[in-house]
Amino acid sequence: MKILVLGVNHKTASVDIRERLAFSGTKLDEGILGLHALHSVKEVSVLSTCNRVELYAYVDNVPGAAGEIKDFLSGLHGIARTEFENSLFVLDGPEAVRHVFRVASSLDSMVLGEPQILGQIKDAFDLSLSKKTTGVLLNKLMKKAISTAKRVRTETRIAENAVSISFAAVELAKKIFTNLAGKSVMLMGAGEMAELAARHLLNNGVTGVMVVNRTYDRGCELASEFNGRPVRFENFLQELVHADIIICSTGAPTYVLQREQMQKVMKERKQRPVFIIDISVPRNIDPEINKIDNVYLYDVDNLQDVVDTNLQGRRAEAEKAEGIIGEEVEKFGRWMSTLDSVPTIVALRQKADEVRREELEKFQNKFPDLDEAQMKAVDYLASAIVNKLIHPPTVALKDDSEDRDELIALITRLYGINGGDDE
């Protein structure tokens, strides 16, 4: 019996293949139950996100189970095996365990250190539990993956610092203002990146939002999404005095804000700091504005530099995380190896209990006049002796030692047990 991981992710398959193999809605329920019903699959859990579709299974035979699963995926999704087979990766044993732990710890994510994947792993596990498609082994694996991910986040700084343009903008804003509560933002243009940055700012305490757009109706629409107010493009200079943060992404071919204009705004603001993010390409804010006191202007290249620096920091932390995962994979391997001795331990206990019952029956036949309390005392004594006698071999069987197989064979022979093979 082995752990098997089979699937596709952003490294191995195109978006088209990932979408066609994805499990969602009723197909997720149908899929996980269908997989669990396969002859060679004993336990299974399904992780399906925009970047990966991965099946975690406990199987009796890796090649046979992999073939069955591929055929099942083909039938469920209506895709010929030849269309997706080359995009699949198949892992088993310790490498499969390592992969699950790395995924949960976001070391295998498109954005290193992102937090969403751990929640997705938990959701996948919860579904498996609700559908009863996992058992002792995968339950242990998934719980260990979650605890390993938490350990990585606690003992490393892999999740710290912004690694997207929009988050980098928020990080810089915090450095300039310390506290974003009560600050106001003007969103100039309706670019996706600028809009995302504005949402992140709102989530970090910014309250007032003004939306400036050359198409006023679009500005009104966007303003309503932010519970803000629209500003006509020709009036934005008058309103600029009220903005602590400006996010510009207008797509204009020239500068929409010049140094002289900003100097007048700062005079009206009584030199209160202003943070300007110019995400436009080409730039829409005059770079000379950055020379004005208390004006902090960053363009997309500046923000990318912040992202790159932070990514380097995350990569350094990832090395520490890999060490933690290595330790946890080893621990899990030791736990799995002890499972080999479980049938022998069970058989040894059954053998000892059988001998105890037989001897108690003989004793009771010899002394029929003993009352119930006296027989209970004798039974207690017999149980105590049995427990003491089988304790050392039981401990030895559970111990992580290289000679466990020889020990199992020896105990099986000495006590005349079969190690549970007839179960």
Residue in 110, 79, 141 with CA at minimum distance from that of residue 12 = 110
Residue type, 415: Y
Residue type, 298: Y
Residue 126 CA from chain centroid, whole number: 13
List all residues 6 or more positions away from 97 whose beta carbon is below 8 Å from its beta carbon: 3, 141, 329, 332, 333
Tell me if residue 50 is catalytic: yes
| Selected catalytic residue, list 15, 33, 50, 410 | 50
For 393-406, b/e burial (b = at least 16 CB within 10 A) is bbebbeeeeeebee
Instruction: Give the CA-trace dihedral at 253, 254, 257, 258, to 10 degrees.
Output: 170
> What are 43's strand-pairing partners?
58
- Give me the residue label for tokens 């073939």: 67
> What are 245's strand-pairing partners?
185, 275
List all residues 6 or more positions away from 113 whose beta carbon is below 8 Å from its beta carbon: 106, 158, 159, 160, 163, 314, 317, 318
Quick check: 42 and 132 in contact, CB under 8 A?
no
Quick check: 126 and 138 in contact, CB under 8 A?
no
Residues acting as catalytic residues: 50
